Every structure is written in C-alpha cells, then in structure tokens.
C-alpha cells in the first residue's frame, strides 16, 4: 500500500503548514479496540483536529493526504530519551554484548586501527553498550591506556550510569587520575561536557537531525528529553520536526526558563518538561537501591547506591513545585521507589517514577493513590531478565509489574531510555506484550499487556483521535492491535503473545503527521 500527497487548487507545494485533510483512514480507539468499518476523513487546522467525518471536501489552499484505507492512530511518544547521548550514537563504538574487559579492548584496538587505515586522526573515541554485570574482571584505566595511547577514549556503560575513561580523556575532561571507572553522580556531572572532546560536537549536531528522522519514521511525534545540561537552549536551535519536552536537573533548576508546559520555540513544538532527579543507580551497574541486599553485596550497605537522600529530594521537589514544574524521579530499586514516593507525597507535586522497575504492593498502592505515573521502559526487561533473577533472587515478581500497575489504576507511560535501548515504540510495545527476547516463554506472564493497552501507554495519554485533540496522526499499513487470547489459567496464551509481539515489531508506518504537518512518509 502507498500513501500519496496531493494539494487542492491553489495550495502551496512547500509542505504542510499545520492544516491538512487526511482522507480515507480508519481511526483506531485503543480503549475499545475498535475502528470504523468504513473509512473516515480527518481535518486538522492550525495543528488541531477540527473535523472527523466521511466525505469531507478540501478547503481552499488546504493540503490533502490520501490515506487509502490506512489505520490511523494517535502520534506515539517516547517518555524517556537522552537525546545528547543518542545523537552521538551513530558515531560510537558498539560495546554491547562484549562479555569481558578483554573483548572490549580488542574492539577498541580494531576501531583505532581502522581509523588509522582510513586516515581519521585527532578524534576522540566514544563507545557505548557494555554492562558491568557481565564482567568477571573490572575495567581499569591502565588497561585502556595501553590500548588507546593518546586518543581520548570514553566507553559508556549500557545503562548510562558509568563510563570507562582513559587518562587522556580524564585530563581533557578535568577529572582527577584514577584506576577505575567514573560512576553515578560524578559521571552525570561530566557527561554533558563530552562535546569538548575532539569530534564529539560535530557528531551531536549531525545525530540530532538523524534521531528525529528515525523517530518520525517509527511514528514517534514527541519525546521527553532527559539529557543533562540545558536542552531547552539547544532544541529551539535545531529546527525541531517533532514535539520535545526538555527536562532540568537540580543543578540547573534555578535556570529553568519557566513552568512545565512553557513554550520555548516559534512553532510551539519545544516546551519545558519536568525536573529530573536520579535517586539511585541501575541494575547493570549493581547500583539500584533495594530493600534487600544483592547476592554479591555490592554497593552501599550491600543494597546499591542512594544518590539523593530523602531530605535533598524533598528540597528539590519543593523548589520545582514552587517554580511550577512537575517532577520525574528516577527510581529503579524498590527502596529508591519508597523514598521517592514519600517525598512526592510530602511535597504534593505532580510526578512520575522513571523506570519503576522494582516495586512492592505498597509502592503500587501509593502510586495509585497519589496519581503518580509509572514511566517504564519495557525493552529493559529483555536484557535484565536473567540478571534480575541472579542478583535479586526471589524478587523477579517485583520487576516490571505492568499489569499490576494498570489494574491498580496507575497511569502508565512507555519509553526507551535511548540510547540504553533503541528509540523504537514498537519494540517497547512488543516487550510489554510478550516479555521475552528468546525462545523462552514470557517472563512472569501475569504482567503482560494486551497490544492495545501497550498502544494506549505509548501515546501520551491519548487513546483515540478526537475533535479538539492534537493534530498528531500516524498511519499504519495494518493493525497489530488484536487482543491476545487468554488460556484456562487466565494468562495470555504464550504462542499467541509471541505472535502479537512479532506483529508489533514488524509494523509498517506509512506516514507521520505532527501538528498538521507531514513529517515522514514511506
């Protein structure tokens, strides 16, 4: 099937300016699972849906998008992205899957040799993807120095909570000498400074355009940018093609340009987002803060790392509330979630728990009563399944409790945490539906979502295209949202859930319209 663009008499050919007639589409309602038997037309005027009816005629100077019977869904959102790091990804050395320090050093040597053969010199080497949890021997600066020499080298962990730097990079980033990695708060403070390394700034500029194009091709119309620094200053300069909400961290809170929702660019696509506070670490670095000890006793008191204590968290949230900001609180371990929820309750701020990876029944009940959103990245469960059972034995039932969250009435928002996982909402939806990355049955299948529930959690709280809603529309070749049948045990039939996940990952996006402008088409 193809999607074609036409224009009514007198219309300009410079692209859509926020007003368009989308003809012959079948709007899908994620709440009911229904779409009309006969196609309808949608009119978007100045970025807002103003008519939904059959047989609409183009207005003068109105552009027309022929849908040819395509399924129409609300624009998709990724509620957790680190765009600065993602923008660098196309130029990074991929260290994902490297199971040892030795393998990574071999990758580094090969990359530097290839650069020399290509005549590429004077550029820093940035890598991304490895996980400390996979290493029997920990990385050291001397070992990396031996492989890299004077080339500034930064190898970022796949959970973005640590980096392995050589001496040249440590010096250029003004960090003290050391033997091991840079982790947690120290790493978060230095990550925004990576563009000072040779070649990195150019990679960010090129990558920002690339990530928008790739996201739009997947039907993503908006994202929440959790990047460090001051993304509200850089995004308006990037000619954004999609909606961006920029976060602010406590260190920059006083510089935030306004309350959450403040418009920051001429088109109204870039707005101020939440205060982001990172309370604990991550599973891959053995630093998520938990109530019970890890099997290896890693981290603070054997329970991970508490990066921001209760008092400091309450102070930050109170200041954010005074400035009219909402809050996004990173909490992966269950102890971190408990601390975050108590601070949110005390301050009375509108908030989300970012990751919400390990929760008790009490935590879920508190989230429901407080109206706290669970901002979850389901693709992480594909990587963390085995590690969770290994280092948190007996606690797998607490991990990624998507069904329990929905059943309790907790608002659910899906995302990627890109570049930790790909910026791909179809992967996130598939992971939430089947919960398996291999031939094994779904992990704790009682927590699986139905495909249309996953869609509802991926569209920024919008379940259907409605009058007065934003003119953000995605056209699909076919519907991948049929309900998965349940077995006698009340669980989704595994084979059917697996097939549903495959359909989601193979979804063909025909066109993406943002605020009434066609930004991507097949």
Q: What confidence tens digit (pLDDT) does each residue in 426-477 have?
A: 999 999 999 999 999 999 999 999 999 999 999 999 999 999 999 999 999 9
Q: Are 377 and 416 in contact (CB under 8 A)?
A: yes
Q: How much is the pLDDT for 135?
A: 85
Using CA atoms, how far apart are residues 250 and 263, in angstroms rounded to an integer?
21
What average pLDDT does the chain have? Answer: 93
Q: Note the pLDDT tens digit of each residue in 187-236.
A: 999 999 999 999 888 877 778 888 999 999 999 999 999 999 999 999 99
DSSP state of 58: P
Residue 444 phi/psi, 5-degree rounding, is 50, 70
Locate 168 and state its tokens. Answer: 């040249």
Confidence of residue 91 (pLDDT cuts 50, 70, 90): confident
Instruction: Give the pTM.
Output: 0.86
User: Beta 93-94 vs 125-128: how paired, if at all?
Assistant: parallel
Q: At which residue do the structure tokens 């602010």 appear?
A: 248
CA atoms within 13 A of residue 232's CA, in its CB half-sphere: 23
End-to-end CA distance of the chain: 10
**Residues 371/344, Cβ–Cβ less than 8 Å:** no
User: Quick check: bond before 419 cis, omega within 30?
Assistant: yes
Please give the share of the chain, as a percent, with pLDDT higher than 70.
96
pLDDT at 61: 81
What is the sign of the dihedral through the CA atoms of 120, 121, 124 and 129? positive
What distance in Å separates the CA atoms of residue 391 and residue 485, rounded to the nearest whole number? 33
């Amino acid at each position: 099937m193809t999607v074609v663009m036409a224009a009514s008499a007198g219309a300009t050919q410079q692209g859509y300016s926020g007003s368009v007639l989308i003809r012959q589409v079948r709007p899908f309602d994620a709440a009911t699972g229904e779409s009309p038997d006969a196609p309808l037309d949608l009119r978007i005027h100045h970025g807002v849906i103003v008519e939904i009816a059959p047989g609409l005629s183009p207005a003068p100077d109105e552009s027309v998008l022929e849908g040819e019977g395509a399924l129409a869904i609300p624009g998709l959102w990724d509620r957790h992205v680190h765009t600065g790091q993602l923008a660098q990804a196309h130029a990074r050395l991929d260290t994902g899957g490297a199971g040892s320090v030795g393998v990574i050093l071999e990758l580094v040597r090969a990359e530097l040799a290839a650069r020399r053969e290509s005549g590429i010199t004077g550029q820093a080497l940035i890598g991304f993807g490895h996980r400390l949890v996979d290493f029997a021997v920990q990385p050291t600066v001397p070992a990396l120095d031996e492989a890299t020499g004077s080339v500034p080298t930064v190898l970022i962990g796949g959970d973005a909570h640590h980096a392995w730097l050589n001496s040249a990079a440590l010096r250029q980033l003004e960090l003290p000498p050391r033997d091991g990695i840079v982790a947690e708060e120290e790493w978060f403070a230095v990550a925004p400074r990576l563009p000072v390394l040779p070649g990195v700034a150019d990679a960010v500029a090129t990558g920002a355009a690339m990530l928008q194009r790739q996201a739009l091709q997947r039907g993503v119309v908006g994202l929440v940018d959790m990047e460090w620094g001051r993304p509200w200053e850089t995004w308006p300069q990037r000619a954004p093609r999609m909606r961006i909400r920029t976060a602010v961290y406590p260190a920059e809170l006083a510089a935030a340009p306004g309350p959450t929702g403040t418009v920051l660019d001429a088109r109204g696509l870039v707005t101020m987002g939440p205060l982001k506070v990172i309370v604990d670490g991550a599973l891959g670095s053995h630093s998520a803060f938990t109530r019970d000890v890890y099997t290896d006793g890693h981290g603070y008191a054997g329970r991970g790392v508490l990066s921001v204590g209760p008092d400091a968290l309450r102070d930050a949230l109170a200041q954010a509330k005074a400035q009219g900001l909402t809050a996004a609180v990173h909490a992966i371990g269950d102890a971190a979630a408990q601390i975050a929820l108590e601070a949110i309750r005390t301050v009375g701020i509108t908030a989300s728990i970012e990751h919400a990876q390990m929760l008790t029944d009490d935590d879920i009940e508190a989230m429901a009563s407080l109206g706290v959103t669970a901002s979850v990245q389901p693709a992480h469960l594909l990587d963390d399944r085995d590690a969770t059972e290994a280092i948190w034995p007996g606690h797998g039932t607490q991990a990624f409790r998507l069904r329990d969250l929905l059943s309790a009435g907790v608002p659910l928002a899906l995302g990627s945490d890109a570049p930790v996982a790909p910026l791909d909402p179809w992967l996130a939806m598939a992971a939430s539906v089947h919960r398996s990355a291999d031939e094994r049955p779904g992990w704790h299948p009682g927590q699986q979502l139905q495909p249309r529930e996953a869609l509802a959690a991926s569209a920024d709280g919008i379940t259907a295209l409605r009058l007065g809603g934003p003119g953000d529309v995605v056209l699909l070749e076919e519907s991948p949202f049929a309900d998965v049948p349940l077995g006698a045990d009340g669980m989704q039939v595994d084979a059917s859930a697996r097939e549903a996940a495959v359909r989601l990952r193979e979804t063909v996006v025909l066109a993406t319209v943002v605020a009434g402008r066609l930004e991507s088409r097949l």
